Structure 1
């Protein structure tokens, strides 16, 4: 089922900035937020506990990628935080992804990163030495993620349609790089508007700076939420 709330990327360097940002929203408005590496490594598990104490949903975006036993143990530790969703790198392989699922348990959504939205096809071919097209690489990773029993993938909205055709019906696509019309692209190479992401079949969207750096973040969030749900 498609998530009706855009996921807000809490890309702040400090706990105080997160508290100030979340305090701008009414206490009865329950958000879905992304906690990434910068914030988690700066503050630690306490940031997850705080956000969950406010009643918000949490996507813990740590992109684990290591040997299977290490990832299994790390996921077992993350499961105790009560996050709603977390992720690994599909490049770690099917065995690693299965170990991640085993450590995390079945209650928490587990998705995999295919190719980062900051990666261009040229970069993929030159640096990763993957000589297929970017789309073929993403779809291949998605199929392997489904084979491993995960819930879905992180991918560009521009790849959602092909992934949906190549994976089971309940396989979800979470798409970062979402920008409302007229917003700056920043360091993202593959971006899409909320309405276009919905039309193409995205199940979750992640929005950062267009909300967190807006003059009125609450109104910016609601405008994007309205566009996502129209």
Structure 2
């Protein structure tokens, strides 16, 4: 699974999550994202349960605190054996490097492979106007994202989370193996909801995203597995 389609498990608890997951064939190799709501409700045991089923896991907690606190938290996360996890690029180089160090330490303690550390650039729910007026960032949104991507690469991160709209610019400023994981994916027939910079799977593939994250178009579909297959087919046909 070089360029995975990751399903965002945006559910309130394990019971709801399990009802969703049992709709998929047991031999389907799923890559799933666990966010704040589900993880805070169920805790680390959830990760162990998902791993026991053979799922790959993106633990999306978006850490943002002083370097020492982030390093300690990442040491705990590192022991869980997840595949991806996140940290805010806005926290700065010292925090990013501390997070990366903690993640590697945790992986060694847990005797597991280190997770890929992805830095959050600008949320896909943020427009350029919002960024400039609310964050007082006086550059274009693509410039801000490219800056964060370079900072992340120079701070021991493996990639970033960004809109596919910024991927080509990031590719110009980072190494070839730098990951660009793209949320806010919406099929052409789907509503964008609160995503300001949503793109289709086809557009993400053309932009050379490394992976895509899809939530509501799959989790709220009448037939989730069918929706998953359709989006996966569109994504993979252009990779």
Structures share fold, TM-score greater than 0.5:
yes
User: Which sections of structure 1, spanning at least 5 residues, go unmatched?
Assistant: none
Identify the residue that residue 194 of structure 2 maps to in structure 1.
187
Deviation at residue 193 of structure 1 after TM alignment: 0.6
Identify the residue that residue 57 of structure 2 maps to in structure 1.
58
Q: TM-score, normalised by structure 1?
A: 0.97
Identify the residue that residue 89 of structure 2 maps to in structure 1.
90
Question: 2:93–2:151: 8 Å Cα contact kept in structure 1?
Answer: yes
Match among 192, 205, 208 for residue 201 of structure 1: 208
What does the per-residue CA deviation read over 1:95-149, in whole Å, with 9 as the maximum and x for residues that have no partner?
A: 1111111010172100100000001111111111111111110000000000002
Match among 114, 120, 127 for residue 113 of structure 1: 120
Deviation at residue 44 of structure 1 after TM alignment: 1.1
In the TM superposition, 1:47-196 aligns within 5 A as 47-105=46-104, 107-196=114-203
What does the per-residue CA deviation read over 1:55-105, in whole Å, with 9 as the maximum and x for residues that have no partner?
A: 000000000001111111000101111111101000000111111110101
Identify the residue that residue 107 of structure 2 maps to in structure 1.
none
Q: Secondary structure at the match of 1:117?
A: coil
Identify the residue that residue 109 of structure 2 maps to in structure 1.
none
Deviation at residue 2 of structure 1 after TM alignment: 3.9
Question: 2:186–2:201: 8 Å Cα contact kept in structure 1?
Answer: yes
Q: TM-score, normalised by structure 2?
A: 0.94
What does the per-residue CA deviation read over 1:19-68, in whole Å, with 9 as the maximum and x for residues that have no partner?
A: 11111111111100000001111111111111111000000000000111
Q: Secondary structure at the match of 1:206?
A: strand
Question: 2:78–2:114: 8 Å Cα contact kept in structure 1?
Answer: no
Question: 2:6–2:214: 8 Å Cα contact kept in structure 1?
Answer: yes
Q: Secondary structure at the match of 1:91?
A: helix
Question: 1:2–1:202: 8 Å Cα contact kept in structure 2?
Answer: no
Identify the residue that residue 19 of structure 2 maps to in structure 1.
20
Match among 209, 212, 215 for residue 219 of structure 2: 212
User: Which sections of structure 2, spanning at least 5 residues, go unmatched?
Assistant: 105-112
- Over the aligned positions, Cα root-mean-square deviation in angstroms equals 1.0
Question: 2:81–2:114: 8 Å Cα contact kept in structure 1?
Answer: no
What does the per-residue CA deviation read over 1:167-224, in whole Å, with 9 as the maximum and x for residues that have no partner?
A: 1111010000001111000000001110110111100100000000000000100110
CA distance in 1, matches of 2:144, 2:47: 32
- Which stretch shows the higher mean deviation, 145-154 or 100-109? 100-109
